[in-house]
């Protein structure tokens, strides 16, 4: 396995939780589409996304801002306003499609079955309620606990996620906690009902490196204790390299490559993935120029024809061999055992 970006050449110990052998996935997302329809142009945020997560497995979702990572997670959690959002496809939890369920049945799954850590803890937490009240609300709403019982469970959870002096701080408000401690409060809320799948949306954003490591260590420890599946949405390729089992790379609302973390990081099968890997600053490259991906992601209300990456792709070709990247959109297909990519020239990338 490659060392994490920016680290020394010596590889770090592999502490990832391996996906268990046998058994089916606990969560399946199939051909998910999310459009936002208003008076202006239709914004197609998610276009045919499919993936699954098994108990004990960690899957990372990578991609630039605006590629649809968070919107797909919000669709799973049922927190998009419908309308303007229009959602189609299937989101199956333990074989049951949540998109076709009654609202009450969905509520029973979202929380105890699937839970989520949001990007910005300060924005996600309500500033006028104590953190203990907000954590305890999970037990009052889903388990019928009293206010006193909810408070006691909040203390237990705050202690579980490593917040010092939990009983003395349970009545404090979000602004009285540091960024790292607020993130731990968010984790406590997400884990309150022992979910089978946890979606962590940029859980280390705006945290310093030391706190990032503490948060990720905490998530891995809790995952080992409970066996939950973890979907990690992040820009941090170093974190992904250390903790993930599989990776799905998204671009312009679509998954353009999937595979094990070692395969994808070592030999990308899509030019976009290769661009992401090439843009990582490494210690051994000190003094050299970075190699960023040229251009900018497309506007989701005006996605290019053909391959959506072709305006930025160094491999894009126009009918030189019968495949025109500007007009012929590739499909996500198997390009090697356990590898799928959405590019006409994936084999050339892998074996060229």
Confidence at residue 345, expressed as pLDDT on a 0 to 100 scale: 87
CB-based contact 177:131 (threshold 8 Å): yes
Place of tokens 């998954």: 255
CB-based contact 260:340 (threshold 8 Å): no
Confidence at residue 318, expressed as pLDDT on a 0 to 100 scale: 66
CB-based contact 37:45 (threshold 8 Å): no
Question: Residue 118's CB: how many other CB atoms inside 10 A?
Answer: 23
CATH topology of domain 27-244: Rossmann fold (3.40.50)
Place of tokens 């061999």: 321
The domain locations on the chain are 27-244, 258-351
Confidence at residue 16, expressed as pLDDT on a 0 to 100 scale: 38
Confidence at residue 206, expressed as pLDDT on a 0 to 100 scale: 64
Distant-in-sequence, close-in-space partners of 75: CB < 8 Å, separation ≥ 6: 32, 34, 46, 85, 87, 91
| Calpha distance 269→340 (Å, rounded) | 8
pLDDT in tens for each of the 352 residues of the chain? Answer: 444 444 433 333 333 333 443 458 899 999 999 999 888 888 899 999 999 999 989 999 998 888 888 899 999 988 888 888 999 999 999 989 998 888 888 888 888 889 988 877 777 889 999 999 999 988 888 888 898 998 999 998 898 888 889 999 999 999 999 888 888 888 888 888 888 999 998 887 766 777 778 778 888 888 888 888 999 998 878 888 888 899 999 999 999 999 999 999 888 999 999 988 887 766 666 667 777 788 888 888 888 888 999 889 888 876 566 678 888 888 999 988 889 999 988 888 888 6
Place of tokens 């046998």: 22
Upper half-sphere CA count for residue 305 (Cβ side, 13 Å): 5
Confidence at residue 327, expressed as pLDDT on a 0 to 100 scale: 87
Global confidence as pTM: 0.84
Place of tokens 């946890």: 198
| Calpha distance 134→152 (Å, rounded) | 12
Q: Specify the length of the chain in residues.
A: 352
């Amino acid at each position: 396995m490659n060392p994490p970006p920016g680290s020394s050449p010596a590889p770090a110990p592999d502490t990832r939780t391996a996906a268990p052998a046998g058994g089916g996935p606990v969560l399946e997302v199939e051909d998910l589409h999310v459009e936002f329809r208003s008076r202006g142009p239709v914004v197609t945020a998610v276009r045919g996304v499919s993936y699954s997560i098994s108990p004990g497995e960690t899957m990372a979702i990578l991609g630039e801002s605006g590629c649809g990572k968070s919107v797909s997670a919000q669709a799973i959690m049922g927190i998009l306003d419908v309308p303007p959002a229009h959602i189609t496809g299937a989101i199956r939890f333990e074989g049951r499609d949540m998109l076709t369920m009654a609202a009450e049945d969905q509520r029973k799954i979202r929380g105890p079955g699937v839970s989520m850590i949001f990007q910005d803890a300060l924005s996600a937490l309500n500033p006028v309620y104590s953190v203990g009240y907000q954590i305890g609300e999970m037990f009052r709403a889903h388990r019928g606990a009293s206010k006193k019982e909810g408070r006691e469970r909040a203390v237990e959870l705050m202690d579980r996620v490593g917040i010092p002096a939990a009983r003395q701080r349970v009545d404090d408000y979000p602004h009285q906690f540091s960024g790292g401690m607020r993130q731990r409060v968010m984790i406590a809320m997400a884990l309150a009902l022992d979910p089978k799948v946890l979606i962590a949306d940029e859980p280390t954003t705006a945290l310093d490196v030391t706190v990032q490591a503490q948060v990720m260590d905490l998530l891995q420890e809790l995952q080992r204790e409970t066996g939950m599946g973890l979907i990690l949405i992040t820009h941090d390729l170093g974190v992904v390299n250390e903790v993930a089992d599989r990776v799905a790379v998204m671009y312009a609302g679509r998954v353009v490559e999937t595979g094990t973390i070692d395969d994808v990081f070592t030999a990308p099968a899509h030019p976009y993935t290769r661009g992401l890997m090439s843009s990582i600053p490494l210690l051994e490259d000190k003094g050299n120029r970075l190699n960023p991906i040229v251009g900018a992601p497309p506007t989701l209300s005006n996605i290019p024809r053909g391959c959506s990456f072709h305006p930025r792709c160094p491999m894009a070709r126009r009918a030189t061999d019968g495949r025109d990247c500007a007009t012929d959109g590739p499909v996500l297909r198997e390009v090697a055992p356990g590898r799928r990519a959405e590019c006409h020239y994936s084999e050339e990338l892998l074996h060229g």
